Each structure stands twice: as C-alpha cells, then as structure tokens.
C-alpha cells in the first residue's frame, strides 16, 4: 500500500486502541506497535507512516523516547499519561490533520476493494473453506471472501445444537438463501448432546464441545475434498494480543478452534486490520442483516455454559424458550443496543411453586444483563422493574418447567459474565 498512515506506539497502558480509532475517524489508517517493535525498525518507519504518536508517556521518559524516535525523521506527538480522553482526541486529530501528510483514504469502499483484489490474487483458481459460527467476525469475513471468489469458497456451519432459538436457521437463510454461497450445514446436535450426556463439570463440558467441534469440522472437510485456504475471522485486537504475547485471560476461549492437522496452503484473514466497530460497519456495508451485525457476543460452547450441570435436551429446550422471551422483550423495550450482553441461565436447582392450585417442583431460571466496555469487567444492568415483571410473567406462563425467575445483581468481578 503506497498510502501512509499514523503509527501509535504503546508506552503506557491500553488506551492506544482508542487513539487508533480516533485517527481512523479521520479516514487515516493507523497501526499500533509496541515500543520495542517500533524501535527495531525505526529507520524504515517513514516508508509506511506519516507521523508517530507516543501514547501515555511519563514525564521521566519523555525526552529519551522522543530522542529514540528522531531517527525515523517523522513528526511526533508525545502524549502525557494524565490527559483526559477528550483532550487527547482533539490533540491527536489536530496533529494528524495539520502536522502530518497522512493520506485520508481509510474508507470502507477502499478497504473492500483492496481486500477483494488481495484475496483474488492469493487464491487464484484454488478453493477456500470457512467455518461459520453465526458470530459477527466469521460472518463478515465469509461475506467479504465470498465477494472476492464466489463459488470457490465453501462455508461450513457446524450446528452443535447449542445455539439460541432459530439462530441456526437465520445463519442458513443469510448465507444460503440470500447470498447464494456454497453453504453446508452440519446437523451435529446428536453427536454433541450424546457426548455431553451425564457430564456436569463446566470445564469438562467446554473441553468436550471444543474437541467435538474439531472432529466434526475434520470429518466435513474430508468429505468436501481438498481446500487450499482456510478463512478466519481474526480481527485487529486479536492480532495485537498475540503480538504482545498476552496470555489468554480465559483458557476456555477455544471452541471454534480448528484442527491443526488439516494442512492448508494458506490462511485468509481479511479482517486483520479492523477494530470490532469497523467490522460491524463493514458487515452493514456488505448488506448483512442488522441482527447478525449487532449480535451480542455468544460463547463458543453456546447454551451449554448457560445450562448448569448436565445438558439434556429437555433443559436446553426450556432455556432456549426462556432466553428467546427475554431477548424479545429487551428488543421491544428498545434496550438491545444499550446492553452488552443479556441472556437466560437455567440453574440446576428446582423449587416448589404452585400452578392452577397444584404444587409444582420446577427449575429456577436466572436472567443476566450486563454493560461493559471490554468484557474484562462488567456491571449488572439496572433494567426497569416493569420490564423484568413482564419477562418473568411471560416465562412462567409460556415455558413449562420453570417455577421461579430471578434477576442477577452481581458485577464482574467477582462473578464472571457466564455462569460456567
Ligand atoms: P466470562 O464469563 O469469562 O466471559 O466473564 C467474558 C466474555 O467471554 C464470553 N465467553 C466466551 N466466548 N468462548 C467464547 O468464544 C467461550 O468459551 C466463552 N466463555 C465466555 C462471554 O460470553 C463474555 O462475553
């Protein structure tokens, strides 16, 4: 790429992602590097960048760091560590516009065009395969690659039976019917549920699902025949995380991991440069439906980690129906965009109730709704009482098997967002 962007060097904590977004708002490309990585190529930086921002530098380091980056010959902005977010944004945007010759060509149209060219060149007349999870990243990646190579791409959607209500059908409707892609839905519900029978330990459940997912994908790939490339929905924050060598905070974020022993000639990662909100914008730009683009994060092991204890077909059916009612009412109240995640959890606890004058002994269902910026910490959402009341009444009226509905009022920490 001949055009030049802005390099953001991370010196302090993690605010550099916000800075990089502030720059991209000006349609200027921005990239984040650790200080060591940037310094290791300091003489070459001017071939790719038009300016450098050193983020959150302490007063002690100021002069020394400025000096070290002088070798780049690029204009620098050194930000102190105590400036407010708003002040910083104004400083950064002013610097980029007025003190550098950065190119303003970071637009969705240009991005799509570049990616389509690059993917066509990479794949040639060969074939690619993409595992769809129903999530935003894999959906947008698949759509972009489809735009580039059409029927040379095969989409594989493993339905493990742990999706939310109607979710599998929605994925199928979008990719098979609307887009017209080569789409394979593997109905593997029985395979997963049989493996999960009798298993109650949360870690064991996750492990079984992760492993089974790989097996199913392998079987399917063998059936499809050789694919040369694997498409992955890696996004920029994932790239930064592995660049820094961060340990994954949660060891369980592995479902949807793909087999290492299937050999591919290459990986296609068309979202590697994008932040999450850019991925969403791109999804909308490419015509994906709102509900898919704005889908809340959903754990790889799906409803299994929200169906406490053993996952039986009966418990999953109760959970799916109750969760659908909760989501419907949140949407009707216009709160969907305000909440980061909201879902039902079927506890493994039964309690006594009374229905039509008869004693019942049914499950306790919990509702969880949270707000968070980064999912590392979260607060429970103060949902209106009337909304909670409607949801509770509807669930106990419409879903057999639930005797009580409770609302969770714990933040993260100390609780995690998911219950298992
Ligand atoms: P916790 O429960 O650890 O969740 O506070 C933090 C965020 O991660 C999601 N989550 C998962 N995502 N595979 C995933 O892809 C998983 O196994 C998994 N477990 C939790 C969770 O929904 C929340 O957004």
Going from the Cα of 418 to the center of ligand 1, the distance in angstroms, rounded, reads 6
Task: Tell me if 412 CB under 6 Å of ligand 1.
Answer: yes
Of ligand 1's atoms, which has the minimum distance to the CA of residue 340?
24
Task: Tell me if 253 CB under 6 Å of ligand 1.
Answer: yes
Minimal-distance CA residue to ligand 1 atom 21: 299
Task: Tell me if 301 CB under 6 Å of ligand 1.
Answer: yes
- The pLDDT assigned to 259 comes to 66
β-pairing, 182-187 vs 153-159, is parallel
126: phi then psi, degrees, rounded to nearest 5: -90, -170
β-pairing, 5-10 vs 30-34, is parallel
DSSP string, 62-122: HHHHHHHHHTT---EEEEETT--HHHHHHHHHHHHHHH----B---HHHHHHHHHHHHHHH
Q: How confident is the model at residue 248 (pLDDT cuts 50, 70, 90)?
A: very low
Task: Tell me if 160 CB under 6 Å of ligand 1.
Answer: no
pLDDT tops 70 at residue 254:
no
- The pLDDT assigned to 196 comes to 98
Q: What is the pLDDT of residues 29-71, one digit of tens each?
A: 999 998 899 999 999 999 999 999 998 777 788 888 889 999 9
- The pLDDT assigned to 49 comes to 98
Tokens representing 168? 């599998």
Query: Which of 133, 369, 415, 417 is the best mutation target for the ligand 1 pocket, counting ligand atoms within 8 Å of the beta carbon and taking the most?
Result: 417
Going from the Cα of 307 to the center of ligand 1, the distance in angstroms, rounded, reads 14
- The pLDDT assigned to 225 comes to 84
Longest Cα separation, the chain: 82
Using DSSP's 3-state secondary structure scheme, residue 206 falls into helix
Task: Tell me if 297 CB under 6 Å of ligand 1.
Answer: yes
pTM of the model: 0.90
Of ligand 1's atoms, which has the minimum distance to the CA of residue 418?
2
Task: Tell me if 250 CB under 6 Å of ligand 1.
Answer: yes
Asked if omega into 413 is within 30° of 0 (cis), the reply is yes
In the chain, what percentage of residues exceed pLDDT 90? 79
Average pLDDT on 77-87 reads 84
- The pLDDT assigned to 82 comes to 82
pLDDT tops 80 at residue 206:
yes
- The lowest-confidence range among 53-62, 200-209, 273-282 is 53-62
Of ligand 1's atoms, which has the minimum distance to the CA of residue 301?
17
Going from the Cα of 3 to the center of ligand 1, the distance in angstroms, rounded, reads 37
Helix axes 276-285, 108-123, angle to 10 degrees: 90
Question: Do 199 and 309 meet the contact criterion of CB atoms below 8 Å apart?
Answer: no
142-170: b or e for each residue (b if 16 or more CB lie within 10 Å)? bbbbbbbbeebbbbbbbbbbbbbbebbeb
| CB-side neighbour CA atoms (13 Å) of 361 | 0
């Amino acid at each position: 790429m001949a055009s030049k962007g802005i390099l953001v060097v991370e010196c302090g904590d993690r605010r550099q992602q916000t800075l990089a977004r502030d720059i991209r708002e000006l349609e200027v490309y921005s990239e984040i590097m650790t200080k060591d990585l940037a310094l290791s190529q300091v003489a070459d930086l001017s071939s790719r960048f038009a300016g450098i921002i050193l983020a959150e530098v302490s007063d002690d380091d100021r002069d020394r760091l400025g000096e070290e980056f002088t070798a780049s010959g690029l204009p620098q902005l050194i930000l102190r560590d105590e400036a407010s977010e708003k002040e910083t944004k104004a400083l950064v945007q002013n610097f980029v516009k007025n003190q550098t010759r950065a190119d303003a060509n970071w637009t969705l149209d240009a991005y799509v065009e570049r990616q389509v060219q690059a993917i066509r060149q990479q794949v040639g007349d060969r074939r690619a395969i993409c595992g769809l999870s129903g999530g935003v990243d894999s959906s947008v990646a698949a759509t972009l690659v489809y735009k580039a190579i059409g029927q040379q791409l095969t989409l594989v959607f493993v339905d493990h039976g742990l999706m939310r209500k109607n979710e599998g059908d929605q994925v199928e409707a979008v990719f098979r019917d609307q887009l017209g892609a080569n789409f394979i839905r593997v109905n593997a519900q029985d395979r997963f549920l049989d493996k999960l029978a009798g298993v109650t330990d949360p870690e064991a459940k996750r492990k079984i699902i992760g492993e089974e997912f790989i097996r199913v994908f392998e079987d399917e790939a063998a059936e499809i025949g050789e694919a040369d490339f694997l498409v992955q929905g890696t996004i920029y924050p994932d790239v930064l995380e592995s660049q820094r060598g961060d340990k994954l905070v949660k060891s369980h974020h592995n479902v949807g991991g793909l087999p290492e022993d299937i050999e591919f000639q290459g990986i296609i990662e068309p979202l590697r440069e994008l932040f999450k909100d850019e991925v969403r914008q791109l999804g909308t730009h490419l015509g994906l439906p709102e509900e898919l683009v704005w889908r809340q994060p959903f754990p790889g092991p799906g409803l299994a980690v929200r169906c406490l204890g053993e996952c039986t077909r009966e418990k999953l059916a109760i959970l799916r129906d109750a969760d659908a009612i909760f989501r419907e009412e949140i949407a009707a109240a216009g709160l969907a965009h305000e909440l980061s995640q909201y879902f039902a959890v079927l506890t493994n606890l039964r309690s006594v109730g009374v229905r039509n004058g008869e004693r019942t002994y049914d499950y306790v269902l919990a509702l969880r709704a949270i707000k968070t910026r980064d999912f590392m910490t979260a607060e429970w959402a103060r949902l209106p009482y009337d909304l909670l009341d409607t949801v509770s009444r509807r669930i106990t009226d419409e879903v057999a098997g639930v005797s009580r509905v409770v609302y969770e009022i714990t933040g993260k920490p100390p609780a995690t967002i998911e219950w298992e």
